Amino acid sequence: MEITRERLPLFLKRPSFFPIYCVSGNEIVLVQEALECIQVALKTQGFLEREVVIVDREFDWSALIRMSFQRSLFSKNGFKIIDCRVQEGGINASGKKVLAQYGEAPAKTCVWIVSCPQIPKFEHEKSWMKSIKEKGVFVPIWHLEGTHHKRFIQQKLRTANLPITPSALDVLAEYTERNLLAAKQTIEHFSSIRVKEPITEEDIQSALSNVSAPEVFDIIESWLKEDIPKLFSSLSQLKIIDSMANLRLVGAFIAEVRQLARMAEEVAKGTPIPNVLQTFKVWPRRKKWVLQKLQKTPLHAWYALWNALLEIECIQKGVQTGDIWNALTAFLVNTLPTAQRACASSQNKDQVPTAKSSPMDPVRHREPSVGQIDH
């Protein structure tokens, strides 16, 4: 059956278990919370042994079947969990076949917990997914946006007993949209120092600049400043350190470009840029870079960038094929001025793919509706 993230804790209180639990999503924090919730529930039912399996493109899915029917050497009752973590690229054809097969004929003492990148909606009606929903539990995890994102942060702050001013909450929600990891780390930072006074905007800005995963913010700021060497150096290092960081990076760029597009709309209406910067609460240290971007980038170009990022997100979701890192690098190269683009390409010729055309070209991209940008 299909269970929403919100309903999962209550559902897991039932005194029964299923052969397969599949958690699918690109929001790392929410996926991890769902997985922990499932593991705790299974532990109360006697599943004390857990074996972690990392699944890449070369993985032999049939090995999971063999592992499932091998008797546990460490669990008295023989119960065990196979924690199957699917990496970038998602579940391939062999994996889909094996998942459907195990759902039909599972081992009585072995449960699979499968976590994977977002499974596209068009896959949900295919036979392998129907089998998982019929014999197991499917938990789709979607990005939290707008009021849902803000409500999630409010809940975490309340749980941590952290007071916060309304304006500081707005800033935290705005700058961590599609990057819940940064929001979580910021809240953990304030919890560790045991804040008693309400958290202010200045506190949030300082904390976001020093969270334990600053590389995403560094790359965003290098892009805004058009600091080419640092931009591509940081991108290369991030890819080596954390191959799955592209999920956070694409989400952060989508939030950033959407915000800039909304600002550009106001500028196009005739609102003075300083007023726009104030209305959108742009951080003082970023005002110079955002000002330059708004001055030299027309509104249609922001729409083009927005659509280019949505195409990259489609690769993440498996709707389109391609390499996310290459697509993201090409996006960054193509958003730079011509001279700098040539410089970046020459410095990164082994890793930067040659794009057929620039995402700044308005002919190739449709103009998103205001609703898209607002939500």
Contacts 24+ apart (CB under 8 A), 40-45: 41/12, 41/13, 41/17, 42/17, 42/81, 42/111, 42/113, 45/15, 45/17, 45/79
User: CB–CB of 157/164 below 8 Å?
Assistant: yes
pLDDT for res 163: 92
Whether residue 341 is predicted with pLDDT greater than 50 in this model: the reply is: no
Report pLDDT digits (tens) over 179-196.
788 888 888 888 888 777
| Residue 139, helix vs strand vs coil | strand
Which two three-digit tokens encode residue 77? 């009752």
Which two three-digit tokens encode residue 66? 């063999």
Q: What is the mean pLDDT of residues 100-117?
A: 92
pLDDT for res 235: 84
Helices (H), ranges, 197-347: 201-208, 215-225, 228-241, 246-268, 273-279, 287-296, 299-317, 324-334, 338-347
Which two three-digit tokens encode residue 133? 């929903």
Whether residue 219 is predicted with pLDDT greater than 60 in this model: the reply is: yes
User: CB–CB of 100/93 below 8 Å?
Assistant: no
pLDDT for res 351: 44
